[in-house]
Amino acid sequence: MKLFAHPFSSYCQKVLIALYENVTPFEFRMLAPDDAQAAAELAALWPLARMPVLVDAGRTVVEATIIIEYLQLNHPGPMQLVPEDRGAALPVRMMDRFFDNYVMTPMQKLVLDSIRTPEQRDHQGVTEARQLLDTSYRWLDDTMKGREWAAGDAFTLADCAAAPALFYADWAHAIAPVFANVDAYRRRLLARPSFARAVDEARPYRGNFPLGAPDRD
């Protein structure tokens, strides 16, 4: 099984957390920005050229959430990241969608806008992204009151999504001190060995963060 990925990519980290949680063996195919051969391999597999992409037994699986669902079906381990029961799985999938759509997407907007030339900057889009993050943080702060993990007591797919989303979102649009429950949840995620490992593996690339990676974390 081969994962086409980069250690600093948020969506790649989402899948790496799932792989590390279950100690699933895989080969890491590095997608370095200056590696034309790796980029060509990725584009041949997935013309949209977004990472991560998983290749397993001749099958190409795309989209981080679907890769994690695929791993659970085909390479299960001790950690069940999506409950078998379809009803119990709904809040997990709902929180996964929340983190991708309402934290990861506006965070990416802020990051991508910052690497545009000044005349190409989308001020309106950036303002809207910051407003969306504030609304998301506020809702999540209330939701996480008395909750350990995103969907309750168990660590799930939703936490795989939350970890890199909140990790980078905080760098782009601060969570603390206003949203204490979100900040505490982000700290719990950082202390989780699977995510701590992904964060450590990505440390050498922090200079690539265009908004300036803070020294903490």
Ligand X SMILES: N[C@@H](CCC(=O)N[C@@H](CS)C(=O)NCC(=O)O)C(=O)O
Q: Which residues bind ligand X (CB under 6 A)?
A: 9-11, 49-51, 63-64
The CB-of-11 to ligand X minimum distance in angstroms stands at 4
Residue with Cβ nearer ligand X (21 or 100): 100
Shortest CB 84 distance to ligand X, Å: 23
Q: How far is CA 208 from CA 33, 92, 112, 202, in A?
A: 11, 32, 12, 10
Residues making up the chain, counted from first to last: 217
In DSSP terms, 4 is beta-bridged to 29, 53
Nearer to ligand X, 52 or 83 (CB): 52
Q: Between 108 and 181, name the residue whose CB sits nearer to ligand X.
A: 108
* Beta carbon nearer to ligand X, 51 or 141: 51
CB atoms within 10 A of CB 177: 7
Nearest approach in angstroms of CB 77 to ligand X is: 21
**Whether the Cβ atoms of residue 19 and residue 198 lie closer than 8 Å to each other:** no
Comparing C-alpha atoms, which of 7, 14, 22 is closest to residue 162? 14
- Residue 195, classed as helix, strand or coil, is helix
Q: How far is the CB of 202 from ligand X (least distance, A)?
A: 11
